[in-house]
Structure 1
Amino acid sequence: MQLSQKQIQLIYFTIIGLCFTPVFSPALALACGIVLSLAGIKYSAINKQTSFVLKASIVLMGFGMNLTQVIATSKEGFVETAISVITVMTAGFLLTKLLKIDSKIGLLISAGTAICGGSAIAAISNVLNAKSYQVSFSLVVVFILNAIALVIFPVIGHYFDMSQVTFGHWAAIAIHDTSSVVGAGASYGKEALEVATTVKLIRALWIIPLAVVISLTQKNSSSRKIKIPVFIGLFVVAIVVAHFLPAWNTTFTHLNWLGKKGMIAALFLIGSDISIKEAKKAGVKSFIHGVLLWMIIGTTSFLTLTIL
């Protein structure tokens, strides 16, 4: 039976409403979105707002974070994020040559894996002057791995009895998109969420030097602007504001709650926007490239954090 637009709207808004209740977990929201996508039930008007909902939720979550802990985590996370970014970009370059895939697709997937998934791909593609199909291929590869990571990382963490802090660091380093990092951290625990979000946003800041380097190495790049995600700065501002205005603590608590629930809604929207057709077009080698990079950073970071 073909659903009308009003029926589809009702389904979407009902699920989004449930995302703001204790009933829906991040994984359940993502799963519901994927089911709707596979069933061909899409509401394009609201899917276009996914990026805004995601970024706004991250900023709002900043009001619930402790500035002192953020600074401490930042100091600890800088070196590990630097090592992970350099390692992934180097491995990505070698795999691109080995698998003989499109160089721009290889670079975009590598940037997405090394830094922050879709945001990094969007920023780098603008500098790289990548074609739409190259960007689409890269986003599909990274998105599918994100969806898998959101589900399996908490399971692996519990199986190996990882601490909240250790899991937070691991998720921030080995999962691509900020949304999936936050989702995995939230499902693991409050402390894991705070650590994962902070380290992840430190990792996201590497968009700036990487975009500059790529811009300098590309011909005729002077005409292209480097777009850095504004939400990263706003997230930091939210943390600072909450720290220096303790009298507004109750309000900030509500904003933080709204951000957490908004993140669950964003995960639902992300899942509902999956395109199987685009996934097939991306090509086997592109997926192999993305999977191998993900396994390299996931395994090495796990071993480093749990054994060394």
Structure 2
Amino acid sequence: MASAIKSQWNLYFGGLMLAAVIAAAATFLSEHYGAPVMLFALLIGMAFHFMSEEAVCVKGINFASKTLLRFGVGLLGLRLSVGDVSSIGLVPVMAVVGFVLATLGCGAFLSFVLGRRMAFGLLAGGSVAICGASAALAITSVLPPRPDREQDTLFVVIAVTALSTIAMIAYPVLFNALGMSAVESGFLIGATIHDVAQVVGAGYSVSEDAGVIATFVKMLRVALLPVVMLTVMLSFRGAQSQRLKLPWFLVMFVALAVLTNTNLLPETLVALIGELSRWCLVIAISALGVKTSLAAIIKVKPSYGAILMIETLFLLAIALLFVVWIGI
């Protein structure tokens, strides 16, 4: 029994260690140079694509890019908090929900207009609407399998990370030029920038108040991840007689979100699990990077990039219109 377990562990060890080392290197570079850790993990992983077919790495890389990914997504539920809804009022909260649904619909519409697959439109729309790379990884895990699914996912992750980084720099300048207050800027930053880290960076670059509001609004978007995942699952359910099965990690996400809002968990434990979730996702995306070649990414059709760019501008436009016409 022990020898069988050891033999199985040896099959997974090589790939897991490779992904973990890449994740550690990406984290080090991110902390010292201020660039997104997900982007570093992807690019470094892609540099090790030649290891993806080595027998010693295959099982570990597959485990990290699938099972570990799902576990990390499930742990994201602990990052959700609903205690601060009153800080900006009910109407802006409902507007954020509308932004997410509208952006998801925009992705589906663009995929139809540009002749692309609906699955890519929902994947791109969900990643722009909710939380960038993390949402892309979560949504792709409930899409029907295809040979090029991971290539599409990696392209979306790279694109939304790059767009989010640009937005982190440009949006505070734009909102200031438009005469937005700190509260309005914080709301817009939280409602429009893709990745959580970039939202925090952009918000606090405006002011302390803007940073708090931006983070809260972003968490509202993250809270809608299970809803979007269920929407995607139902969209590809097929025949009505097919039974809908909730993924274990989606149940885990919702359960942890409820649990963390009961305030029963010690803050140190929540922080520890949050860090574990971050590492799981970085290791998973490192493994995805290893499985994807740069040549494959370059072959992605230009219309895929256009979908992501238009969705980003669409989300910015509807958020600005809300603040200008209705206010917060």
Q: Shorter chain as normaliser: what TM range?
A: 0.5 to 0.7
> Is the counterpart of residue 234 in structure 1 residue 245 in structure 2?
no
Deviates more, 1:69-78 or 1:221-230: 69-78
Aligned amino acid, residue 170 of structure 2: I
- What's the counterpart of residue 84 of structure 2? 69
Give the alignment's TM-score, normalised by structure 1: 0.68
- What's the counterpart of residue 106 of structure 2? 91
How far residue 121 of structure 1 moved from its aligned partner, in angstroms, is: 4.1
How far residue 187 of structure 1 moved from its aligned partner, in angstroms, is: 3.1
Q: Separation in 2 of the partners of 1:261 and 1:171?
A: 27
Indicate conservation of the 8 Å contact 1:174/1:301, yes or no: yes
- What's the counterpart of residue 40 of structure 1? 48
Give the alignment's TM-score, normalised by structure 2: 0.64
Counterpart mapping for 1:222-301 below 5 A: 222-227=241-246, 229-242=250-263, 245=264, 251-253=266-268, 255-256=270-271, 259=274, 262-263=277-278, 266-267=281-282, 270=285, 273-274=288-289, 275=292, 276-301=294-319
Percent of aligned positions with the same letter in both sequences?
13
- What's the counterpart of residue 139 of structure 1? 153
Q: Separation in 1 of the partners of 2:256 and 2:214?
A: 14
> Is the counterpart of residue 52 in structure 1 residue 71 in structure 2?
yes
Indicate conservation of the 8 Å contact 1:59/1:259, yes or no: no
- What's the counterpart of residue 7 of structure 2? none
- What's the counterpart of residue 79 of structure 1? 94
Indicate conservation of the 8 Å contact 1:185/1:196, yes or no: no
Indicate conservation of the 8 Å contact 1:185/1:193, yes or no: yes
How far residue 203 of structure 1 moved from its aligned partner, in angstroms, is: 2.9
Q: Separation in 2 of the partners of 1:70 and 1:13?
A: 35
In structure 2, the CA distance between the partners of 1:108 and 1:261, relative to structure 1 (3 Å rule), is closer
How far residue 106 of structure 1 moved from its aligned partner, in angstroms, is: 3.4
- What's the counterpart of residue 9 of structure 2? none
In structure 2, the CA distance between the partners of 1:5 and 1:262, relative to structure 1 (3 Å rule), is closer
Q: Separation in 2 of the partners of 1:53 and 1:296?
A: 29
Q: Separation in 2 of the partners of 1:239 and 1:71?
A: 19
- What's the counterpart of residue 137 of structure 2? 118
In structure 2, the CA distance between the partners of 1:110 and 1:265, relative to structure 1 (3 Å rule), is closer
**In the comparison of the two structures, how many residue pairs are matched?**
282
Q: Separation in 1 of the partners of 2:17 and 2:245?
A: 41
Q: Give secondary structure in 2 for the equivalent of 1:132.
A: coil
More RCO (CA 8 Å, sep 6+) = 1
Indicate conservation of the 8 Å contact 1:89/1:111, yes or no: yes
In structure 2, the CA distance between the partners of 1:40 and 1:113, relative to structure 1 (3 Å rule), is same
Indicate conservation of the 8 Å contact 1:70/1:198, yes or no: no
- What's the counterpart of residue 152 of structure 1? 166
In structure 2, the CA distance between the partners of 1:284 and 1:165, relative to structure 1 (3 Å rule), is same
How far residue 25 of structure 1 moved from its aligned partner, in angstroms, is: 7.7
> Could you report, residue by residue, the CA deviation over 1:36-61 in whole angstroms, capped at 9, with x for unpaired residues?
124227772645524423542x3444
In structure 2, the CA distance between the partners of 1:303 and 1:256, relative to structure 1 (3 Å rule), is farther
